[in-house]
């Protein structure tokens, strides 16, 4: 008979798990593997709450394996290093993002694109090569192969820096890959949530003109005054949408729900690029006419490789980019998940794991 989660491995661990598609979280005892030669054991300090955590907790994508302990925006302190670990020392502050493993051999892995390896091991709701389940950062500690651990720059605060490990790299990587960083060009950011608000800040750091494209009129003042956007468009305002037709060079689409692409494609200039990183639970309709007639491009992107994630953290440290966060205690998690599902957060919940997780 299979061992129970708390008996499976030698190291005791404790966190909060969702048990079924209600997505309700409750305390959960489980275990982690012994620290191996290439491993780093991390005491978790803070963990961001990504919209993907909600989708997995509620099985919206249909592949949740309960019980699930989400969390892939992890900042913590190294407590143990394996004998072959070269990059990290005990006591150092580090980050762990969306992936904790990959095959290390394929073309993608060899090009530092572990995020596109066919055998990527995700930080939670996934399996290690030995079949053990992965559990994420809504927990007290984690054991991770050093390849998938990041140095956390000294001048980045843990709370505001944690969301960069998913939200940050998810918008940084496509901006670099698709050439969306040319100073003076016009970037549209669709969806002003966790990913979107970081995209605004990065766009400004790259020297772009940034317009937020939002379904929430209430976010206008803060988008401009607090986040530094140059302008703001509400998708439900036909006059403003019409005036902005054909004005944008690039759009990064972070919207989490099913939405129409036609209005977004129409905002692009000829040769414009729309990169979608949001993951709605149903397919979007692709309007061919504006695409063909304007030689426009629609692309996708999935987080980033380890090398680029480190580069992104260093870029954010240099430019003073952090997420705007609401720090919460672990016992507020169920309320936070409900609020996040309604886009009621400015702009990322981050759990103060170390000081609020008690057994």
Interface residue list for ligand NAP (CB under 6 A): 50-52, 55, 166-167, 170, 191-196, 214-216, 219, 254-257, 259, 277-279, 301-303, 340, 343
Residue with tokens 């040319």: 182
- The nearer residue to Zn ion, 267 or 353, going by C-beta atoms, is 353
Among 49-57, 107-115, 219-227, 266-274, the segment contacting Zn ion (CB under 5 A): 49-57
Both tokens of 171, joined, read 């918008």
Q: Name the minimum Å distance from CB 33 to ligand NAP.
A: 26
User: Residue 131: which region, alpha, beta or left (left: phi > 0; alpha: psi -120 to 50)?
Assistant: left
Q: Name the minimum Å distance from CB 335 to ligand NAP.
A: 15
List the single partner that 296 binds among ligand NAP, Zn ion, none, CB under 5 to 8 Å by kind.
none
Q: How far apart, in whole angstroms, are the C-alpha atoms of residue 75 and residue 95?
A: 5
List the single partner that 278 binds among ligand NAP, Zn ion, none, CB under 5 to 8 Å by kind.
ligand NAP
Residue number with the smallest Cβ distance to ligand NAP: 193
Residues with Cβ within 8 Å of 6's Cβ and at least 6 positions away in sequence, in order, are 12, 29, 30, 31
* Binding residue for Zn ion, selected from 35, 41, 52, 235, defined by CB under 5 A: 52
Site membership for Zn ion, residue 353 (CB under 5 A): no
Among 120-128, 163-171, 217-225, 264-272, the segment contacting Zn ion (CB under 5 A): 163-171
Q: By C-alpha distance, which of 29, 35, 36, 31 is closest to 12? A: 31
Site membership for Zn ion, residue 166 (CB under 5 A): yes
Among 31-39, 52-60, 103-111, 173-181, the segment contacting Zn ion (CB under 5 A): 52-60
Q: Name the minimum Å distance from CB 212 to ligand NAP.
A: 7
Both tokens of 246, joined, read 């054909």
Q: Name the minimum Å distance from CB 122 to Zn ion.
A: 10
- The nearer residue to ligand NAP, 220 or 352, going by C-beta atoms, is 220
List the single partner that 40 binds among ligand NAP, Zn ion, none, CB under 5 to 8 Å by kind.
none
Q: Name the minimum Å distance from CB 72 to ligand NAP.
A: 8
* Binding residue for Zn ion, selected from 17, 45, 50, 255, defined by CB under 5 A: 50
In angstroms, the Cα distances linking 89 to 40, 80, 83, 211, 320 are 9, 8, 11, 42, 25
Which residues in the chain belong to E strands, given as ranges? 11-18, 25-32, 39-49, 74-81, 93-96, 99-101, 121-122, 141-145, 149-151, 186-190, 209-214, 231-234, 248-253, 268-276, 297-300, 325-328, 348-352
Q: How far apart, in whole angstroms, are the C-alpha atoms of residue 13 and residue 142?
A: 8
Instruction: For the chain, give percent helix, strand, coil, nearest 5.
Output: 30, 30, 45
- The nearer residue to ligand NAP, 13 or 171, going by C-beta atoms, is 171
State the Cα angle at 175 between 172 and 181, rounded to 5°: 115
Q: Which positions lie near Zn ion, rule CB under 5 A?
A: 50, 52, 166
């Amino acid at each position: 008979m299979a061992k129970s989660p708390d008996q499976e491995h030698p190291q005791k661990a404790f966190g909060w798990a969702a048990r079924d598609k209600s997505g309700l979280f409750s305390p959960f005892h489980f275990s982690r593997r012994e620290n191996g030669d290439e491993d780093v054991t991390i005491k978790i300090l803070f963990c961001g709450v990504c919209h993907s955590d909600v989708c997995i907790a509620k099985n919206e994508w249909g592949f949740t394996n309960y019980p699930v302990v989400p969390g892939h925006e992890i900042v913590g302190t190294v407590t143990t290093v394996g004998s072959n670990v070269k990059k990290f020392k005990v006591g150092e502050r580090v980050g762990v993002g969306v992936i904790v493993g990959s095959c290390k051999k394929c073309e993608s892995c060899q090009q530092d694109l572990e995020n596109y390896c066919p055998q990527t091991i995700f930080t939670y709701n996934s399996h290690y090569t030995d079949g053990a389940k992965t559990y994420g950062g809504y927990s007290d500690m984690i054991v991770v192969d050093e390849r998938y651990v990041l140095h956390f720059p000294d001048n980045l605060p843990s709370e505001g820096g944690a969301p960069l490990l998913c939200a940050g790299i998810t918008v940084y990587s496509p901006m670099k890959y698709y050439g969306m960083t040319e100073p003076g060009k016009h970037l549209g950011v669709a969806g002003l949530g966790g990913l979107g608000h970081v995209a605004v800040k990065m766009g400004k750091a790259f020297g772009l003109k940034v317009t937020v494209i939002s379904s929430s009129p209430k976010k206008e003042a803060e988008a401009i005054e607090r986040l530094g956007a140059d302008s703001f468009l509400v998708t439900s305002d036909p006059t403003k949408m019409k005036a902005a037709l054909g004005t944008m060079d690039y759009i990064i689409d972070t919207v989490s729900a099913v939405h129409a692409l036609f209005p977004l494609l129409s905002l692009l200039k000829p040769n414009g690029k729309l990169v979608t990183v949001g993951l709605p639970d149903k397919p979007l309709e692709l309007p061919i006419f504006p695409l063909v007639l304007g030689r426009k491009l629609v692309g996708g992107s999935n987080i980033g490789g380890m090398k680029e994630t480190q580069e992104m953290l260093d870029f954010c440290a240099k430019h003073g980019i952090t997420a705007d966060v609401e720090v919460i205690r672990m016992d507020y998690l169920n309320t936070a998940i409900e609020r996040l599902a309604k886009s009621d957060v400015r702009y990322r919940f981050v759990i103060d794991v170390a000081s609020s997780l008690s057994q």
